[in-house]
């Protein structure tokens, strides 16, 4: 049930349309919780039905309407309740590590290809997060600036610090994945060398 709370949290910065929210899910929140627009629009309707957000409709052209959502006082209360709640950790589901457990079913070339993919992906992630940390530290994101503009100044440090801490954590996590992939490549080299030695000895 994290989607609804991610939406509520985003709406504390400013009222937004489903489209705006979907974009935010691509550039910031999505780094920790992904959601496509096909999930966002129905969820906003549900949030509206339960009174956690309110919607203002404005006409666009002759047939279409634009719906701008704002968080309600009940929505804020729900957000506080969620933050205070201790959630049991989600069950592990890590396709990359599962597959790596069984690389022996493929070739050395394949293991290398897989580790290289892992390496490249997490290097990109690391960079993305590093940039995000730098932006947060300079208050250089639209959403953060809007959020700070409406909150009392003495709370700004905490608001920024928690976010910076999260994204620094993700930078570190990506660094560990990159290291793991590099060590994986070294492992494949060792295994292949041993295999080659065995073959020439056996001949």
Partner DNA sequence: ACAGCCATGTAAGTCGTTACATGATTGC
Partner DNA sequence: GCAATCATGTAACGACTTACATGGCTGT
Which residues form the interface with DNA (CB under 7 A)?
1-3, 17-20, 22-23, 34-39, 41-42, 44-45, 60-68, 90-91, 93
Q: Which does 129 bind (CB under 5 to 8 A by kind): DNA, its own copies, none?
A: none
Residue 101 is given by DSSP the state: T
Residues whose CB is less than 8 angstroms from the CB of residue 62 and which lie 6 or more positions away in sequence, other chains included: none
How many CA atoms lie within 13 Å of 193's alpha carbon, on the beta-carbon side?
6
CB of 30 to its own copies, least distance (A): 7
Per residue in 67-88, is it b (16+ CB within 10 Å) or e — as a string?
eebebbeebeebbeeeeeeeee
CB of 141 to its own copies, least distance (A): 12
The C-alpha angle with vertex 21 and arms to 18 and 24, in degrees rounded to 5, equals 155
Q: How far apart are CA 81 and CA 56, in angstroms?
A: 26
CB of 158 to DNA, least distance (A): 28
Q: Which does 41 bind (CB under 5 to 8 A by kind): its own copies, DNA, none?
A: DNA
Alpha carbon 104 to chain centroid, angstroms:
31
Q: Closer to its own copies at the Cβ: 73 or 92? A: 92
Chain residues that interact with its own copies, rule: CB under 8 A = 2, 5-6, 9, 29-34, 79-80, 82-84, 86-87, 89-107, 110-111, 113-114, 117, 121, 154-155, 157-159, 161-163, 165-166, 169-170, 172-173, 176-177, 179-180, 183-184, 187, 191, 194-195, 198
Q: Which does 26 bind (CB under 5 to 8 A by kind): DNA, its own copies, none?
A: none
First-to-final CA distance of the chain: 61
Q: Which does 94 bind (CB under 5 to 8 A by kind): DNA, its own copies, none?
A: its own copies
């Amino acid at each position: 049930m994290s989607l609804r709370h991610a939406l509520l949290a985003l709406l504390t910065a400013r009222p937004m349309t489903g489209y705006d929210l979907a974009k935010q899910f691509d550039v910031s929140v999505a780094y920790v919780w992904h959601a496509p627009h096909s999930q966002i629009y129905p969820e906003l309707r549900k949030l509206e039905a339960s009174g956690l957000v309110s919607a203002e409709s404005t006409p666009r052209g002759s047939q279409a309407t634009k719906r701008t959502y704002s968080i309600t006082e009940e929505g804020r209360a729900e957000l506080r309740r969620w933050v205070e709640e201790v959630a049991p950790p989600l069950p592990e589901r890590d396709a990359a590590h599962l597959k790596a457990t069984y690389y022996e079913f493929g070739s050395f070339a394949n293991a290398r290809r897989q580790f290289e993919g892992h390496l490249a992906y997490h290097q990109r992630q690391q960079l993305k997060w590093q940039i995000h940390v730098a932006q947060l530290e300079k208050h250089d994101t639209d959403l953060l600036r809007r959020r700070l503009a409406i909150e009392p100044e003495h709370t700004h440090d905490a608001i920024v610090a928690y976010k910076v801490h999260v994204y620094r954590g993700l930078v570190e996590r990506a660094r560990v994945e990159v290291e793991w992939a590099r060590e994986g490549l070294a492992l494949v080299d060792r295994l292949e060398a041993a295999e080659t030695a065995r073959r020439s000895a056996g001949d």
